[in-house]
Amino acid sequence: MFSQEPIEWPEQVELLIERLEDEAAERALSREERALMDIVETVPLIQGEDGLHGFWHSGVNHQRVINSFELIGSTTIADALNASRWCETRPDDRLDYSETEEEYLVTIEEELSAGMDELIDLVLEFIEDELT
């Protein structure tokens, strides 16, 4: 199962997310703003107990989230999400995976972990380049 220290977003990111949440009730967010929201909302899901399996069995717009990671330059995470797409068709309980499936998913989640390590820097750079 996926385990990594939860991402703690810098105050700058948290304040921007709060502002965007407020503004979303009044106007449509830009694609860049929506991408940032998608990422911040999806990271806890991916870092949850069920990892990528949990992501694929959630109600999020999977392709939009993948596109959001690509938009900010996090191709490592986007690639891991795409590589684990098969989880969507697997049983609801990750414990029902075969040994081979579980080993493969763990390998993908190890790659995902590397992408998570660089995510804060990519988000901050994206905010600076696209949202300020």
Does some domain include residue 103? Answer: yes
Which pTM does this prediction carry?
0.92
Does some domain include residue 116? Answer: yes
Does some domain include residue 7? Answer: no
CB 108 within 8 A of CB 78: no
CB 75 within 8 A of CB 123: no
- Residue pLDDT, tens place only, 69-122: 999 999 999 999 999 999 999 888 888 999 999 999 999 999 999 999 999 999
Does some domain include residue 108? Answer: yes
Residue 38 Cα distances to 31, 97, 100, angstroms: 10, 28, 31
Does some domain include residue 4? Answer: no
* Predicted pLDDT at 35: 97
Domain that holds residue 120: 31-130
- Residue pLDDT, tens place only, 36-69: 999 999 999 999 989 999 999 999 999 999 999 9
Does some domain include residue 96? Answer: yes
Rg (CA), the chain: 15
Domain count, the chain: 1
Does some domain include residue 22? Answer: no
* Predicted pLDDT at 3: 58
Does some domain include residue 122? Answer: yes
